[in-house]
A and B are shown apart, each in its own frame.
Chain A
Amino acid sequence: MALSVDMIRDCLDGAVPAVLATCASDGTPNVTCVSQVHFVDGAHVALSFQFFNKTRENLLANSRATVMVAHPETAARYRMALQYLRTEAEGPLFESMKARLAGIASHAGMSGIFRLLGSDLYRVIEIERVPGTELPVSAPRRNLLPALRTCLERLSQCTDLAGVLEELLASLAGAFDITHAMVLMLDARGECLRTAASRGYDASGLGAEILLGQGMIGIAAQQRTPIRITHASPEYAGGCAGTPEMMIPFPGLPDAGSRLALPVIGGGLLLGVLYVESPEDLRFGYDDEDALVAVAAQLGMAIRALGDAVGDRAQ
């Protein structure tokens, strides 16, 4: 069976640095470590472009590249034959890679040195499993599909927005074992996200505000893309700083190791952000992100369906 990127995406969380080989137009090879290989879809990845270097020069002259990645638990390695397509220096892909890189940089003691200049998008031509043995994978912390089912069933029984938010946070804790979570709603002017519900914090922080585009929560909303950070990163700490006139402190963990912000969209409209975090590094992987994207989508539809004032704002 041919491998696709989704089948090996646990190798793309950066625990084991990836290596990238390119060739100059005269055929001279070049090989270098690369901070980030980002899953785009089953046939595409994006690599972090951080420095103007030989790799850059080679790619512009010869679009073929080969990257090797390793699974952080099994030690299995894969070689991906790639074709460089283009570089994105703004937008959802760029912002989500930039936030992730900030976490990687901080973890590596490279804050201020690792800086994303662009997201290099590649088509994956072929994936080869490097022959060899591998270690067993440990049991997952939770089976995410039953957790998702439980959560969505509970949300579908709710009759008002308050109930939806309460059930959401309860099932994140109960079914997903995610004990620090909050929902922020976009205000009527579409400029500010306000904490509407939270769970797992000393102070609820209800009413605490974040501007659209500010911190990882504000960027996730503005770009309408999930942002996932796998290591503590001061640049994105607390998800944000509040608005200058903010009276209510943001309730987030001061030193979260893992953070995930997901835009809540219903009927095509941005409604808010679902934000979860954990003191642990590497707590949320690609599968957790997918499951919570589905939860956020259901939340968005529930908000619209229940015709709450927040949903009416967008009318």
Chain B
Amino acid sequence: MSTGSAVSTGSAALPAPVHVVGAAMIPMGRHRRSSYAGLAVGPVLDALAAAGLGRERVRAAFVGHSFGGMLTGQRVLKEIGLGGLPVVNVDNACSGGASAVHLAARAVAAGEYDVVLVVGVEKLTQFGGGTLPLVTEDPEVRRGMVMPALYAMRARRYLHERGTIDDLAAVSVKARRHGARNPYAQLRSEVTAEQVLASRPIADPLTLFMCCPTGDGAAAVVLVSDRARAELDGPAVRILASVLHSGEMDLGARDMLHPEITFASARDAYEAAGMGPDELDVVELHDAFSIAELIYYEALGLCPVGEAGKLLRSGETTFGGRVVVNPSGGLLAKGHPVGASGTAQVAEAFWQLTGTAGDRQVEGARTALTHVTGGGIAGLDHGACTVHVLRAG
């Protein structure tokens, strides 16, 4: 039950076509010798080069991050002499990088700008490891809440109501198998279910290998209008839907296996895209912890509620299956530098849909969905959720 007054944001459809025409990122990992600018400058230049656009064509930039401090975007862009244009810094926790894509897509579709740069960047090694620092104004954070604990309680309910610990391990095994093919991934070794279960406990029942690693990362994508697209020679991917939702306050008995914010965001995204989950070839979803992938299979409509374990075991969500979920290795293997992840997912979708994903290419992929949430806030399932649906141009 939701006790708040959820408002419709109107149609999630974009009023005019928006195209992704370039993407780049650094391998996620521990980059202690790089600043925020140092992490992001390479992807910015490479994404523009991939698009065949000079920096002078960029009309605005949206920069997602959560822990970069003031003016992170300007600190990145001044390094390559980009100034004067509007630069907006976007924090939405783990959804920051996707929220930046959302704002950029809406701005291009509204006709405000014809070429927009999106950056997602984060440096988590500045904290020296451990759990993500949450906001101590929050009553649950003051009581000891950390992100692994929240997902661990979801996992406990999953074990109580539906599945087994083997399902939680199998998600990690799949993620690491995919990540081993991805040169952008932080963790590139495969693991067995036994290794996942034997890795050290983080928050029972979650073990280390069921949790995304701590690391640094940066990704950039370039979005353009139809008119700018017509001038370019390279491949393009169309953004069919760009949805951003906030969580709804509920202080009562919430079903932790039914994340309403993702159900609602997915519903709006499919409506705007004019397609359903059965038409997706690739999904990059928010598997910050292995339990999340199972819950989001259901919330994104990839299977009926209660059948996530069955879908995973069927093999339909790995290479060769009906819809490949997290071909990049996902947050569990590719890594999860909070504000960078949402942009990185859109970059992965661009590569998959332009046939440039190398060893992790999903054969013949024509459609993709990306999904990130942003949590760590009492009373809400998550604070933010961003979903994009993309189609090969």
Q: Does B associate with A? A: no
